[in-house]
Structure 1
Amino acid sequence: MDMNQLIPLLPEMAIFVKVVDSGGFSKASIKLGMAPSSVSRSITRLENTLEEKLLQRTTRQMKLTATGQDVYNLCCDMMHSAQLAISAAQSDKTEVSGVLRVAAPKALSKQILMPMVLDFMQAFPKVVLQLKVVDHYIDPISDEVDVIIRITDNPAQGLIGQVLGHCRLVLCASPDYLKQHGVPDHPNDLISHNCLCLGENPLDRVWGFTKDNKKMSINVRGSFSVNHSEIRREAVLKHIGISVFPEFSIQDKLESNEVIEILKDWHVDGNYQGDIVAQYAQSKYIPKQIKAFVDFLKDRFKP
């Protein structure tokens, strides 16, 4: 196959990678902004030109053939090389500009990152920033994101990581609630308190605690559950009960004594705590907008 025959196949190869990474034609079409029928025709053209079946398709599932797996691996290398070419060009620019795609958790984005992001946009007006606010894990390659920000003690392997700060979980209640119902001295005391949970699954009502290598779990009960930290915070401020929060989402109320941290000598176990980490793909060429954004956040998180 000569170069004139190869060049028209490059977009089809890129679409093929997106279909495999997305797990289907419909999901790939959404990410590509194409009609599913157009995606299907691209794969058919690629298969016809190569004279090989790449995908076994049924109405319910799709899987790679043996040849398809080999072609997919090589097409991934092609896409990686294309990304390197773009990164090389962007890293050599004298000014910070270009598209920057960032993914971060919802609560952290709204309560901590947004002022920083808006200040960054003012400082670097030629950067086009796309913020994806999600709580589930984002893969920077298949989800086409340049920087992922997570709260975790286990950063994703194979990525460059920069620690921005740290977040712990805080158990707290309002002074009025504690005056009326008493201050818990031990996790077991929570059984008799109104504990406000996320309520997304039964395990949300099992609160874990650690002290001096001793672990314990408490099955708590409460009159209200909601998977939104700001709404639960309002309920705590209205003296309804006790709840657990990421420290950044309640810090201002702790400082103003509108809420009081309880069981300080116990570590509250659970998700949404650990290092606040910014991660991006390893490369010889890191685009300037990625470097500038991460450095900007590191500087803002310092205090």
Structure 2
Amino acid sequence: MAIFVKVVESGSLSQAAQALGISPSSISRSLARLELAIEEKLLERTTRKMRLTSTGEQVFIQCRDMLTSAKMAVSAAQSNETDITGSLRIAAPKALSRQVLMPMVMDFVKLYPKVSFHFKVADHLIDPIGDEVDLVIRITDNPIEGLVAKKLSSCKQLLCATPAYLKQHGTPTHPNELIQHNCIVLGEIPKDREWKFQAALSSSISSKQSLNDIVEVNVQGTFIVNHSEIRKEAVLQGTGLALFPDFSVADEVKSKALIPLLSDWKVLGNYQGDIVAQYPQSKFIPSQLKVFVRFLEEALKDK
């Protein structure tokens, strides 16, 4: 029944076999045994596609609910343990993982050596249920609905350049002036060139610029890279200016190697907001998950 659910969710026997680490022929035999046991056809299969029969749709719902109940039973057992054991699968964005979370994860692993830790690093949106992870850590102002959301910290975007670059090319005082500068962008999608700013402090902004006005600038640049550390190295070498999550440039800003720009403006867009830990709602939360979230809350409370 578990294999049947995985086949339906994966959309093919081969993908289910890869996910489960068994051969497609084993998958096929398991499905045949299930159909023989309940004396009903569950799947209509051709060389190109697969679909559930009407009976298969009903059986799939029951089998999926059965697996959910089984997972809750395991969670119930783990939630009552005083000695923290079990597995923990988390997912988080690349830059946040490398520059913030990794030292904390290693401290946790040393503190709880009986926990089997699986760290999935990805910038695309991870679904805790569909991608089979216990915890997703995201930087967002819009947490995934239907999941528990624990705020760990917050992050904002900073526009930075080196003192040498600013001395040579001038310091922008308004977002519209960025069209005169070499702006280093991610380049993953066309909208990465569209930088949006919102007026934050009226005292030093022109009277023509109302508080909370939004300015959108289509920036240009000669260097494009979707890696924050490479982008930071390019800026440090005076190539241009770029946007960074504040945690990515905290040391450089403190040492004045990088200068934050347009402090009267708030950068709008992705890669900023609350740092949120999210996981599925359940009556029984595994103890290793609860302990890890509390561990992160404590470690990040002053960040």
TM-score (norm 2): 0.92
**Shift of residue 278 of structure 1?**
0.8
Match of 1:237 in 2: 236
**Shift of residue 40 of structure 1?**
2.7
**Shift of residue 261 of structure 1?**
0.8
**Shift of residue 23 of structure 1?**
2.6
Q: Per-residue CA shift, 1:70-116, capped at 9, x if unaligned?
A: 11111111001100110111111121111111111111110000000
> What secondary structure sits across from 2:58 in the alignment?
helix
Residue 172 of structure 2 corresponds to residue 184 of structure 1: yes
| Mapped contact 1:194–1:222 kept (Cα < 8 A) | yes
Cα 1:270/1:281, change in 2 over 3 Å: same
Match of 1:162 in 2: 150
Give, in whole Å, the separation in 2 of the partners of 1:260 and 1:131: 33
Give 1:107-256 correspondences, 5 Å limit: 107-211=95-199, 212-256=211-255
Give, in whole Å, the separation in 2 of the partners of 1:216 and 1:117: 39
Q: Per-residue CA shift, 1:214-264, capped at 9, x if unaligned?
A: 222211111100110000000000010010111111111111111111111
Cα 1:163/1:228, change in 2 over 3 Å: same
Structure 1 stretches of at least 4 aligned residues deviating more than 4 Å after TM superposition: none
Give, in whole Å, the separation in 2 of the partners of 1:67 and 1:216: 56
Q: Per-residue CA shift, 1:34-62, capped at 9, x if unaligned?
A: 12232233223323332333233344433
Give, in whole Å, the separation in 2 of the partners of 1:57 and 1:218: 52
Residue 289 of structure 2 corresponds to residue 301 of structure 1: no
Give, in whole Å, the separation in 2 of the partners of 1:22 and 1:294: 30
> What secondary structure sits across from 1:227 in the alignment?
coil
Cα 1:205/1:61, change in 2 over 3 Å: farther
Residue 259 of structure 2 corresponds to residue 260 of structure 1: yes
**Shift of residue 134 of structure 1?**
1.0
Match of 2:10 in 1: 22
In structure 1, the gaps of 5 or more residues are 1-12
TM-score (norm 1): 0.92
Letter in 1 for 2:265: W
Give, in whole Å, the separation in 1 of the partners of 2:69 and 2:63: 10
Give, in whole Å, the separation in 1 of the partners of 2:49 and 2:156: 41
Give 1:42-57 correspondences, 5 Å limit: 42-57=30-45
Cα 1:59/1:274, change in 2 over 3 Å: farther
Give, in whole Å, the separation in 1 of the partners of 2:165 and 2:14: 51
Number of aligned pairs? 291
| Mapped contact 1:18–1:142 kept (Cα < 8 A) | no
> What secondary structure sits across from 1:166 in the alignment?
strand
> What secondary structure sits across from 2:292 in the alignment?
helix
Cα 1:195/1:59, change in 2 over 3 Å: farther
Farther off after superposition, 30-39 or 147-156: 30-39
Identity of aligned residues (%): 59
Give, in whole Å, the separation in 2 of the partners of 1:80 and 1:40: 23
Residue 58 of structure 2 corresponds to residue 70 of structure 1: yes
Q: Per-residue CA shift, 1:114-151, capped at 9, x if unaligned?
A: 00000111111111111111111222222221111111
| Mapped contact 1:173–1:259 kept (Cα < 8 A) | yes
| Mapped contact 1:153–1:274 kept (Cα < 8 A) | yes
In structure 2, the gaps of 5 or more residues are 200-210
